[in-house]
A and B are shown apart, each in its own frame.
Chain A
Amino acid sequence: MKHLSLLVALCAICWQIAAQETYPRNGVYDEREGYYAITNATITTAPGKTESNATLVIRDGKVVSVGPASVPKGAVVIDAKGKHIYPAFVEPYSNYGMPKPKAEGERSRSQPQMLSNKSGAYSWNEALKTEFDAASEFTHNKDAAKALRMLGFGTVVAHRWDGLSRGTSVAVSTGDDRENMLIMKQQASHNLSFKKGTSTQNYPSSLMGAISLFRQTYMNAAWYTKTSPEETNLSLEAWNDAQNLPQVFEVRDRLELLRAATLGKEFSKNYIMRGTGDEYMRINEIKATNAKLIVPVYYPDAYDVTDPFDALQADLGDMRHWALAPSNAKRLNEGGITFAFTSSGKKDTKAFWKNIRKAVEAGLDESAALAALTTVPASYYGLDNQVGTLAAGKVASFIITDKSIFEEGVTIHHTWVQGKGYVNSAWKEDVFVEGNYTLRYGSKSSKLEVHGGDKPALKIALDSSKLDVKHSLKGDLITMSFTPDGEDGLVRLSGRVKGNNMNGRGQLANGRWIKWTANITREPLEKKDKKKKDEKVADAAEDDPLDEINVTYPMLAYGWTDKPQQGTYFIKNVTVWTNEADGIIENANVLVKNGKISSVGKSLKAPSGAKTIDGTGKHLTSGIIDEHSHIAISRGVNEGTQYSSAEVRIGDVVNSEDVNIYRQLAGGVTMAQLLHGSANPIGGQSALIKFRYGYQPEEMKYENAPGFIKFALGENVKQSNWGDNYRSRFPQTRMGVEQVFVDHFQRALEYEKSKGSKDFRQDLEMDALLEIVRKQRFITCHSYVQSEIVMLMRVAEMFDFRINTFTHILEGYKVADKMQEHGSAGSTFSDWWAYKYEVIDAIPYNAALMNEQGVLVGINSDDAEMGRRLNQEAGKMVRFGGMSEEDAWKTVTLNPAKILRVDDRVGSIKAGKDADLVLWSDHPLSIYAQSEMTMIDGRIFFDKAKDKQLRDQIREERALLVQMMLDAKKGGAKTRKPKMKHKHHYHCDHVEDELRD
């Protein structure tokens, strides 16, 4: 047994533990044992399991033993007294050693790129890069490896961050060695995301497009294995091979996480989600998905709110997130969600440890934090038999620190990787044992305090005071000097330190030589500093402003801490607009129970337990239904990159966290059809939602709603107003538009015929089109001029179905008789016109004329602002063309319910229908009417009094957060300038590519 100094031990870096068998070599073999015993350490072998004064024995890159075992013969001893040892961390989400993503080619400025630029037998879509194999491409990178080791990572799972499907990842260790020795596991996972990366291909440009592409790819892949297709598709083959691996999905926020989980469920995949740190905002919903997470620990900087005008731009939701982000991990842990930490997400990883400690300070259990760095990520990739804990037979990857890893100011001295030690920052050997000593020199004695650590200090306790003792230490040689109480000159001592004892010779001021000893006593050392800190913490705990910051649903202004629940309500003495044969009933009562309208009548009595709402002088109507809306949609309203995108579904991208939902509620709107845009003739599938503000996307969708799809005609689909660069995508004329429809329906019929054949491949686009022809899905068609309206009806008739709805339909009045005959409804604006050439003949009398011809007519918004005062837009119908008030009111309630084929459940006030009700302060068609209460399914989602409360809360909370941010800035925190929140009020014709990084 040889006691080796650290310096020597760590020369190990330049030699190799295990030989690379297949490699030739130059020189004399120098294989070593790699046999080490690291003694006297506090060893955390696994989260929650710590042994003090333990020895870790490793050999040949593997752990031999860990525990109180004695040092075996032949092992090099490293004394780690006072040090802590942890399993090295596992980075679950990295691009370490990966080639830089590079586009396959360029996209022409004037032509859409319809296919992948990649040559070879790969996917049609450039964003599907499943064939990428990280193990084949991995190269060791000394600097990056060092940076990872400095953070304590011994193992990294890396993949190339590029594309929707990014291929497979590789698990490697962070040592400096040949790649052959570093790879621990090939194909550790299949990685996916909602980012297109370097793909220059147009499709998909929206989130819903990406989701559809995944869906279709899962189906194609299944088809590829089941049948014997003529095509060879290496991407699909790679996709199929990758399906048995862990599936890791990168998302951009909590809602995308839920969306990915929903997608996964459809194909029996339970993704490991790489989130962004906002998961605490939807903890229960995420828990319900069973998803395991990888979360970063980078928190948003505080806003610089010194300037009150700048502060105006800071959004409450963002400010709350700033305050609560450090508690994400704690909340995940308490919510029973499995998560691992990743250091990825920022180039500069300096804040990584600081932020992990912040998470712990915010209440995260230390062993959960450690698990998130070790066992959890290891288990994600099946690496837990190799790394993540320290036990016999495991890979000898561990770190040595000077104190608990969660303590402020901790230093990770060593990172050992596969049995090789790498020094991040050498420790000074702590020769001193801390404690109180009795110092005897000559005939005198005195108390001596010895403080250890990086900067050891000696203090001598004299009668009157404590004196710092000047001292120097070289190895175990010590010299001290001090002036005893009441004396002039210095006493100088020189000797050796031997554990708890010191002894040697010295000279008094008078020149006399003496002997001296110092022996430790049992009296514990007093530590003042720490106490102070504890007191501080206690102080802070008393009135922590953080306690007043809550998660709300959604995490925005006007979000709820408790979501509205159903109640029994008795609305009395109110003017009821029934929309039924009873017409308008004055002084009536309405009972709401279990989310439904229970009864309506004049003589109704309030049952016990019902909450009474006095409707005296007010009007009660069913909720407004907006047939055409684009609010509450995430990342793209158009997938206009192809002329048909029938496969995409708005329902995949409902955004429950849009404040416009609340604004619509304040305007008495309870339901809306969220439509795909109008950039292509065959758009995407619509979603019918109820404005259940605070609930998650899936809960907003109206149960059992019939399927609809958006079609479009005219200038948008022919790209007339897009400038000269858009002149080549088919179609460019109305003539071409007709061909798109006939062609697609024809293909759908042929597709139907091919069902059941051996090589049948399910195609989501064709499925949707076939549903239309088979009258299981209904068309809402964006339309303006009469020719195209008639054309589409004739195309439908050719295939023996009907166009359910023409939306916009600004020249509907010119062909109202034909529409009536065909049986299609018209959902129009009240008075928009003149904004483009195809609307020069639009008239506000349109609805009235169509109505008179027996066309079912609705008034819609297509606009987040107008949507919240559709009652006025209906009022205009009385003015333009003289509709009766009841008919006018129906254009925004019962008629859209009929158009959307849900009038058996909503659209009027009738026993048994959904309790979607609005209490108006005035005649509902009047500009002076305001909603005082808006209810959906018997839950009150808007209430004037509650609204006022919320406003006050918003003001108070903003003020509090501003103060907290000012304090943070004063305390030296990094800040950023607040900026106006990116408002995204989609319209039909917004076509931005939303899938760039």
Chain B
Amino acid sequence: MTTRIFISILSCLFVVSGLFAQQTPAAKQTKRILYINAKIHVGDGTVIENGALGFSEGKITMIGDATRIKIDRTAFDEIVDARGKHMYPGFIATDTQLGLVEIDAVRATRDDRETGFLNPSIRSIIAYSTDSRVTPTVRSMGVLMAQISPVGGRISGQSSIVHFDAWHYEDALIKADDGIYLNFPNYFTRSGWWAEPGPVKVNKDYADNIKLLRDYLAEGKAYSELDKPKQTNLKFEAMRGLYDKSKRLYIRTDYARCILEAIDIAQDFDINICIVGGADSWRVADDLKAANVPVIINSTQRLPDRDDEDTDLCFKLPKLLYDAGVTFSFGHDGAWEQRNLVFQAGQAISYGLPYEQAVKSMTLNTAQTLGISDQAGSLAKGKDATFFVSEGDVFDPRTSELSDAYIQGRKIDLSNKQKALYEKYKAKYDAEK
């Protein structure tokens, strides 16, 4: 290898990884941009085969069928022909610990689980790191926004909704403290620890656990009726939003019995809830629908909980909920795993869920549940220009390849640490050839 080649490799490495290492947020949108001829999956269940989408100053200014409406091309500074490509609203991850956890096994990098049992005042947003090396890998798979939630305890704390192009958490915020996360008492408990899982047992204290929870919600409600409590209770202050419905209660649970109990609680305390997990939700779909309770499905790519269940039960769960008229969104466990959120939807499509409904359950349904549909969740005039363009069908790993992505009109860098490492080593090997 000559010195010159070596130097050029080196500089090449600097360019690639150097750029990425800074992970620089994009500049504010200054140009008016028009995308034409894309297959636009609007997010509301509709699709435009030859779509046009214009946006300026971070907001969508027009959307329509390019073959039908007249477009004033002069109104745009930049026109992108996206023929053959697909456009989707930015996908939204829910109940994720992205930015709270960097490396699962390294305790120092975990900020997702506060000690204590009832922690409604805990706020995930303040620990959210915009510098996570993980987030860009998720972003390059079409997930552009996320609800960051704490875990642990009975009441884990408050979630917030962020987008993935920010200098610090305040920049990232779409909605602060949008909801409170609750780990519903489990009908079953599992003993042991991660390396030594113990047997599953019926939770003998289930009824007591429920009572404790109800009592706590009752106290919180009573407190919320006081204008000036004698002493300020931070936990109950945080819960005020539940009772005036400015915050939703996100309830993590899978079992049918627990879901029904959760619906009861929602009605008794007149609060908005959302079931997160919901493996059994199809069994109580009528109740969910009647109570207007949305579900965030925790992974379609998971195993059924019971041996006797249909082997593909989790794959077809979205279809079952759709048929029953329950509003649902796709969710997925963990932090780095959100890169595969998109495939949770893909999996459901071949089990009967209509394609545009799959899109909707990645976008508008989620935005509505999270209470951000006025600004995100679908491609509509006036909403944030947060979307991406894919070379092919984004739900199929074979064809899923993002070409462009925008967050509030800012064109984001789709590279990430992994891509940089790829290019670094590819260059090394190419040079050695």
In the complex, whether A29 has a CB less than 8 A from a CB of chain B is: no
- Mask, A276-314, CB within 8 Å of B = 1, is 000000000000000000000000000000000100110
Write the nearest CB–CB distance from B359 to chain A, whole angstroms: 15
Interface membership of A365, Cβ < 8 A: no
Q: Which residue of B lies closest to A865 (CB)?
A: B303
Q: Tell me, rounded to whole Å, the shortest Cβ–Cβ distance linking A975 to chain B.
A: 13
Interface residues of A, dominant DSSP? loop
Q: Which residues of B contact A980 (CB under 8 A)?
A: 188, 200, 305-306
Give the complex CA separation of A835 and B398 in angstroms.
25
Q: How far apart sit A810 and B24, CA to CA, in the bound complex (Å)? A: 27
Given contacts A834-B102, A834-B335, A927-B350, whether A663 and B311 have CB atoms under 8 Å apart is yes
Is A124 part of the binding interface, using a Cβ–Cβ cutoff of 8 Å? no
Please measure, in the bound complex, the distance between the C-alpha atom of A556 and the C-alpha atom of B425, giving whole angstroms.
49
Q: Decide if B398 touches A722 in the complex (CB within 8 Å).
A: no
The A-contacting residues of B in range 334-365, CB under 8 angstroms, are: 335-336, 339-340, 343, 346-347, 349-350
Determine if B103 and A879 form an interchain contact, defined as CB atoms under 8 angstroms apart: no
- Which of B55-63, B159-167, B189-197, B236-244 lines the interface with chain A? B189-197
Closest to B256 in A: A309
Pick from A315, A817, A841, A947: contact of B307, CB below 8 A.
Answer: A315
> Counting CB contacts under 8 A, is B401 at the interface?
yes
Please provide the chain A residues from 826 to 844 with a CB less than 8 Å away from any CB of chain B in the complex: 831, 833-837, 840-844
B235 contact set on A, CB distance < 8 A? none
Q: Give CA–CA (A880, B255) in the complex, Å.
A: 37
Q: A836-B104, A853-B429 are in contact. Are A831 and B422 (CB under 8 A)?
A: no
Q: Kindly state whether residue B226 has any CB partner on chain A within 8 Å.
A: no
A923 in contact with B104 (CB, 8 Å): no
Which residues of chain A have C-beta atoms less than 8 A from B104's C-beta?
A: 834-836
Contacts of B103 in A (CB 8 A): 834-837, 840
Q: Chain A contacts of B396 at CB under 8 A?
A: 875, 926-928
What are the residues of chain B within 8 A of A176 when measuring CB–CB? none
A102 at the interface (CB under 8 A from B): no
Instruction: Kindly supply a per-residue 1/0 record for chain B positions 415-429, scoring 1 wherever the CB is within 8 Å of any chain A CB and 0 otherwise.
Output: 000110110011001
- Chain B residues near A925: list those with CB within 8 A: 397-398
The 8 Å CB contact of A317, one of B133, B302, B307, is B307
Size class of the B contact interface (CB-based, 8 Å): 35 or more
B7 adjacent to chain A (CB < 8 Å): no
Interface contact A982-B199, CB-CB below 8 Å: yes
Given A865-B301, A929-B350: A954 and B311 interface contact (C-beta under 8 Å): no
A876 CB-CB contact with B under 8 Å:
yes
Inter-subunit contact B303/A834 (CB<8 Å):
no
CA distance A814 to B336 in the complex (A): 21
B197 touches A833 (CB 8 A): no
Whole-angstrom distance from the CB of A5 to the nearest CB of chain B? 56
A865 to B303, CA, bound (A): 6
Whether A316 sits at the interface, judged by CB under 8 Å, is yes
B347 touches A835 (CB 8 A): no
Query: Quick one: given A309-B257, A315-B308, A814-B425, are A879 and B397 in contact (CB under 8 Å)?
Result: yes
Q: Tell yes or no: B105 within 8 A of A by CB.
A: yes
Given the complex, which residues of A lie within 8 Å of B208, measured CB to CB? none
In the complex, which residues of chain A have a beta carbon less than 8 angstroms from the beta carbon of B197? 984, 990, 992
Say yes or no: B335 contacts A659, CB within 8 Å.
Answer: no
Query: Are A666 and B312 touching (Cβ within 8 A)?
Result: yes
Give the bracket for the number of chain A residues in contact with chain B.
35 or more
In the assembly, what is the distance between CA of A922 and CA of B349, in Å? 13
- Select which of B106, B200, B257, B426 is within 8 A of A981 by beta carbon: B200
Within 8 A of B (CB), among A947-997: 947, 951, 954, 958, 977, 979-985, 989-993
Query: Using an 8 Å CB-CB cutoff, how does the interface string of A856-876 with B read, 1 for contact, 0 for none?
Result: 000000001110110011011
Residues of A within 8 A of B301 (CB): 865-866, 869
Q: Are B106 and A837 within 8 A (Cβ)?
A: yes
Q: How far is the CA of A982 from the CA of B201 in the complex (A)?
A: 9
Q: A721-B105, A837-B106 are in contact. Are A849 and B303 (CB under 8 A)?
A: no
Please give, as numbers and ranges, the residues of chain B lying within 8 Å of A928 by CB-CB distance. Answer: 346, 349-350, 396
- Complex Cα spacing A985 to B197, Å: 10
Report the Cα distance A659→B310, complex, angstroms. Answer: 11
Q: Select from chain A the residue with minimum beta-carbon distance to B101.
A: A834
Which B residue sits closest to A982, measured CB to CB?
Answer: B199
List B contacts of A921 (CB < 8 A): 350
Indicate if the CB atoms of A844 and B200 lie closer than 8 Å. no
B202 CB-CB contact with A under 8 Å: yes
Assess the A843–B398 pair: CB atoms within 8 A: no
- B134 contact set on A, CB distance < 8 A: 834
Determine the distance from Cα of A982 to Cα of B104 in the docked complex, in whole angstroms: 25
Question: Given the interface contacts A315-B306, A845-B422, A990-B196, does A836 sit within 8 Å of B398 by beta carbon?
Answer: no
Q: In the assembled complex, which residues on chain A have CB atoms less than 8 Å from the CB atom of B432? A: 817
Given A927-B397, A958-B308, A843-B200 contact (CB < 8 Å): no
Cβ contacts under 8 Å, B200 to chain A = 979-983
User: How many whole Å from B362's CB to the nearest CB in chain A?
Assistant: 14
Q: B368 contacts the other chain (Cβ, under 8 Å)?
A: no
Tell me the nearest residue of chain A to B299, going by C-beta: A865
A972 to B133, CA, bound (A): 62
* Complex CA distance for A927 and B192, rounded to whole angstroms: 35
Asked if B128 is an interface residue, CB under 8 A from chain A, the answer is no
- Once bound together, how far apart are the Cα atoms of A938 and B309, in whole Å? 27
Q: Give A986's nearest chain B residue, CB to CB.
A: B197
In the complex where A849-B429, A977-B202, A980-B200 touch, is A875 in contact with B311 (Cβ < 8 A)? Answer: no
Q: Which residues of B contact A981 (CB under 8 A)?
A: 200, 306-307
- Interface of chain B residues 58 through 110 with chain A (CB within 8 A): 102-106
Kindly state the separation between the CA atoms of A989 and B104 in the bound complex, as whole angstroms: 15
* B387 at the binding interface (Cβ < 8 Å): no
Chain B residue contacts of A879, Cβ below 8 A = 397-401
Contacts of A989 in B (CB 8 A): 194-195
Q: Is B395 an interface residue (CB 8 A)?
A: yes
CB pair A843 B105 closer than 8 Å: no
Known: A840-B103, A923-B398, A991-B196. A662 touches B346 (CB 8 A): no
| Residue contact B310 to A951, C-beta cutoff 8 Å | yes
Interface centre among B198, B346, B397, by most chain A C-beta atoms within 10 angstroms, is B397
Bound together, the chains give a CA A929 to CA B315 distance in angstroms of 12
CA distance A944 to B426 in the complex (A): 43
Residue of B nearest to A813 (CB): B425
Partner of A836, one of B106, B418, B429: B106
A878 interfacial by beta-carbon distance below 8 Å: yes
Bound Cα distance A485, B350 (Å):
87
Is A644 an interface residue when CB atoms closer than 8 A count as contact?
no
In the complex, what residues of A have CB within 8 A of residue B310's CB?
A: 951
Q: Which residues of A contact B196 (CB under 8 A)?
A: 990-993
Provide the bound-state CA to CA distance between A881 and B419, in Å. Answer: 9
**Chain A residues with CB under 8 A of B256:** 309, 312
- Closest Cβ–Cβ distance, residue B299 to chain A (whole Å): 9
Write out the residue numbers on chain A whose beta carbons fall within 8 Å of the beta carbon of B340: 831
Rounded to whole Å, the gap between the CB of A852 and the closest CB of chain B is: 7
Closest 4 CB pairs of A and B: A836-B105, A992-B196, A834-B336, A845-B422
11 new A-B contacts at CB < 8 Å, known A866-B301, A991-B196: A557-B307, A814-B425, A817-B432, A834-B335, A835-B336, A849-B422, A868-B311, A879-B397, A925-B398, A983-B200, A992-B195
21 A-B pairs within 8 Å (CB atoms) are namely: A312-B283, A313-B306, A315-B307, A317-B307, A557-B307, A831-B340, A837-B105, A843-B418, A853-B429, A873-B397, A879-B400, A885-B398, A923-B398, A926-B398, A927-B347, A927-B398, A981-B200, A982-B200, A990-B196, A992-B195, A993-B196
Question: Which residues of B are interface residues toward A (Cβ below 8 A)?
Answer: 102-106, 133-134, 137, 188, 192, 194-202, 255-257, 280, 283, 301-303, 305-312, 335-336, 339-340, 343, 346-347, 349-350, 395-401, 418-419, 421-422, 425-426, 429, 432
Residues of A near any B CB (own CB < 8 A): 309, 312-313, 315-317, 556-558, 659-660, 662-663, 666, 715, 720-722, 813-814, 816-817, 831, 833-837, 840-845, 849, 852-853, 864-866, 868-869, 872-873, 875-876, 878-881, 885, 921-923, 925-930, 947, 951, 954, 958, 977, 979-985, 989-993
